[in-house]
Structure 1
Amino acid sequence: MKRRQFVQAAGLGLAAGAIAKPAIAQSMPEVKWRMTSSFPKSLDTIYGAAEVLSKAVAEATDNRFQIQVFAGGEIVPALQAADAVQNGTVECCHTAPYYYVGKDPTFAFGTAVPFGMNSRQENAWFYHGGGMDLLNAFYAKYNFIGIPGGNTGTQMGGWFRKEIKTPADLNGLKMRIGGLAGRVIQKLGAVPQQIAGGDIYPALEKGTIDAAEWVGPYDDEKLGFNKVAPFYYYPGWWEGGAALQFFVNTAKWNELSPTYKSIFKTAAGLANVDMQAKYDALNPPAVRRLVQAGAQLRPFSQEIMDACQKAALELYAEIAKENAEFKKILDPYMAFRNDGYIWQQISDFTYDNYMVRSRAKG
């Protein structure tokens, strides 16, 4: 997007062509921020969303508002990005909110909950269903605001060193898995592990863990999981649409002018769309390459899916009894999800199902 188009899109209310470039620049203060990511630079799609935002903000402000992006571990460890924003070490971060369910399980709604919404439903909920209002009311006590900043789409179920055919096969399994999904599989006897993306391969290679999920074919191929675990399961029932968010320190956000706030939000929207578009373009050829290299694709059995959903619903009921903030978001979230699937059963599902069968027939 060209700078002048972006400025107009950001809601400045000005015809950029009617004002000389120097006049625009002079009206904008110089702001320099640091953004820490929860992801390594090697994962260009998920890490790249932060760079998309940074570039768009700089272009829209003639480089007056600059945001320097740092990979996980360069300033703070990958899974401490939100803490760095909360305490003011950095102005903002790009992360998966469900990394922080150890602080409060309510964080999971910012990314994904098992058997929750898909990515389209999440965006509808965030932008038009009151989702971000609910989340930001929750985030307020952590001294930051959240803005949607990407989505992976439905993820894969992960890489396993052995076949998983029944719920009993999960018993004793050590698995790297994010968010509340770890507590779900724990109910079935598995042992969840929270490990940053860059540390998963060595843990899987050494046998410290028996299985690991990350995102999908494009990222998984880059990380080389197929070299140490042959069985590749789907779908990632815990991430029907895994959302990423930009967290911004509340005080720093309030220091921004309305213009800069609008530009940041618009740039975040661009990053939000771009991430899933890029994954949807890169995952198909990646899964072909993985299968050609020997990866064995397996669907989770109906028995496993049913057992995991039952465990997830039990977990939500248990948390909601103890955590009023979790329940405050859970109820409208599930209602929005259920309505969303009524519509998608009529629209997308029917169309997609026909096209999948049509393609299979050649």
Structure 2
Amino acid sequence: MNGNPKMVERNGTVSTINDVAREAGVSKTTVSFVLTGFRSVSKETEAKVRAAMDKLGYVANHSAQSLSTSKTNTIGVITSNRQGAYFELARGAYINWLSKAATSAGYDMLIVNDPDGTATANVCQSHKADGLIFLDVRRKDPRILFAAKSGIPTVCLGVPDDRMNLDVVDTDFGHAASSMVEKLASEGHNNICLITLPQPILDQELNDTFRFIQSANKTSQRLGLNLSIRTCTTDTEKIESELDGILSMQEGTTAYIIQNESATLVFHHLMEIRHIPIPEQYSVLVSCEKQMSDALYMPFSAWQNDVQLVTETAVKTLINHFKHPKRKPQFKLLQGQYMDRGTIASPWE
């Protein structure tokens, strides 16, 4: 394998794989292992090789590599057909960080939309990617079977009911929901309202939402709390009126958990125009992505999942599978972090 570079010149010369090997003080074969993942090398050696590549401006030609190794140096990211402004924004955050992680590891990224498994089967059969990462994983996800049957290395960014020995990486949404309920209970709240996603989304049984609601229910029952669950649209033109209706129905409620980022900022707006003080009248705790929380200046205390950490872990897990194809399937749930913004207090204060 020669790993031909793109035409990157330094001082009038073109850097080659031999130049990288010489700069890093390793063999050409070792550089190839770093580029293809065919064989594991030490972290120290890989760091020296990548530092040499950066210094020389070397960029591997993936097309040339694939001709000589039958590898594409491409990771396929398979999404589903979830619709709506919130989902496009959330999906965009995941795809952005997946792309950065893949590029950093020397891989291109192929994005495919596939609600029923057909496109996944096509990617597997045509060898368009070395491995797959599934977004928008449902409890009974039709894509799982195609990936498992093909034997292609796959990471599910979510937890299906039957993962068929595929790798799983995700935020521990069950732990997040349980922790949020326990946090409010510790402050003395007995009547809590959970505002979640609209019913059509719940009907898709997306694993993260299902695990969150299930855990919130179980924890509330264990602690003897009253938990009411209300769905709310993600349609920006209808959110305010639906939240108005929810607030009107929740007599006796002292705390809200919001698992619907589209509704979170509108909820804050309603509190302001109704002159409802937070946390004096209601305590509010939200579940959201850390990166979106930072960008949107989320006004409430939050349990935040780190999209960058989750996506980087998913890519590393997939590449580890490339290097160690006979290893046991991985199951990694990453815990979110609590961000206190002063919107939780005892209902008796």
TM class by smaller structure: 0.3 to 0.5
TM-score normalized with structure 1 length? 0.37
